[in-house]
């Protein structure tokens, strides 16, 4: 049963999460553009390093039994394997884990992280078009940006409908918000690390 909106809950949970993550999302977008991932394949490879690091840190969440009870197709949504294959296509080493990964978050906090990861699939629709200009595709080098089974929009709608329907305590609301913000901050850190660790060009 869905409660009617009140002064404390002016919008759907997914809409509130979009609002509170607007600033860290904008900072991340600006940083991505600054690193010009679509100028060269080498630049794009560093972007994939960041994507792989982020997705690999979330593998445990995508395979968590309690979360799969909530989102039955969650395990199939994970893109860590696709990013690993992209690194191979791009002749780039799989990076070692970078300190600071999320560890054993609560259910609500984990859903905040997944909200960010799943939401990024919408933006990937634009990124894959840029990647094609580098000679890459959904089957070579840019698999992790590919169209999910069932379509991007439908997959996102199913995820947010489920998230919005969950009954959360005030503590859980704070946790899901923390997870979403932390996810953007973490990806920003991993992006910086990926470009900072780029091999020197001969």
Phi/psi-derived region of residue 40, left when phi > 0, alpha when psi is between -120 and 50, beta in every other case:
beta
Beta partners for residue 141, in sequence order? 137
Which residue shows structure tokens 């979360």?
A: 67
In this prediction, residue 3 has a pLDDT band, given cuts at 50, 70 and 90, of: very low
Residue 197: predicted pLDDT = 81
From 3.90.1150.10, 1.20.910.10, 2.40.10.120, 3.40.30.10, which CATH number describes the 13-196 domain? Answer: 1.20.910.10
Phi, psi of 92 (to 5 degrees): -120, 135
**Percentage of the chain exceeding pLDDT 90:** 91
Contact 94, 52 (CB under 8 A): yes
| Mean pLDDT score, 115-132 | 96
Sign for the CA dihedral angle at 183, 189, 191, 193 comes to negative
CA neighbor of 194 nearest in space, from 55, 59, 23: 55
Whole-angstrom distance, CA of residue 107 vs CA of residue 159: 15
Q: Does residue 59 carry a pLDDT above 70?
A: yes
Which residue shows structure tokens 């919005």?
A: 164
Residue 141: predicted pLDDT = 98
Whole-angstrom distance, CA of residue 201 vs CA of residue 101: 29
Q: Does residue 198 carry a pLDDT above 80?
A: no
Q: Does residue 201 carry a pLDDT above 90?
A: no
DSSP state letters, 58-88: THHHHT-HHHHHHSTTHHHH--HHHHHHHHH
Residue 200: predicted pLDDT = 59
Q: Does residue 202 carry a pLDDT above 90?
A: no
Q: At what angle do helices 107-132 and 13-20 cross, to 10 degrees?
A: 70
SS3 content of the chain, % helix, strand, coil (to 5): 65, 0, 35
């Amino acid at each position: 049963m869905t409660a009617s909106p009140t002064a404390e809950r002016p919008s759907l949970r997914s809409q509130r999460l979009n609002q509170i993550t607007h600033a860290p999302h904008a900072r991340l977008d600006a940083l991505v553009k600054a690193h010009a991932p679509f100028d060269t394949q080498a630049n794009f490879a560093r972007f994939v390093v960041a994507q792989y690091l982020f997705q690999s840190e979330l593998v445990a969440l995508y395979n968590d039994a309690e979360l799969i009870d909530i989102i039955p197709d969650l395990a199939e949504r994970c893109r860590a394997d696709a990013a690993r294959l992209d690194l191979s296509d791009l002749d780039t080493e799989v990076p070692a884990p970078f300190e600071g990964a999320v560890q054993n978050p609560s259910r609500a906090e984990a859903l905040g992280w997944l909200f960010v990861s799943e939401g990024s699939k919408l933006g990937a629709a634009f990124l894959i078009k840029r990647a094609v200009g580098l000679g890459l595709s959904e089957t070579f080098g840019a698999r992790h940006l590919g169209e999910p089974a069932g379509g991007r929009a439908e997959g996102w709608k199913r995820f947010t409908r489920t998230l919005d329907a969950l009954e959360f305590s005030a503590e859980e609301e704070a946790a899901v918000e923390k997870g979403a913000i932390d996810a953007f901050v973490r990806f920003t850190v991993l992006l910086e690390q990926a470009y900072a660790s780029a091999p020197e060009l001969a």
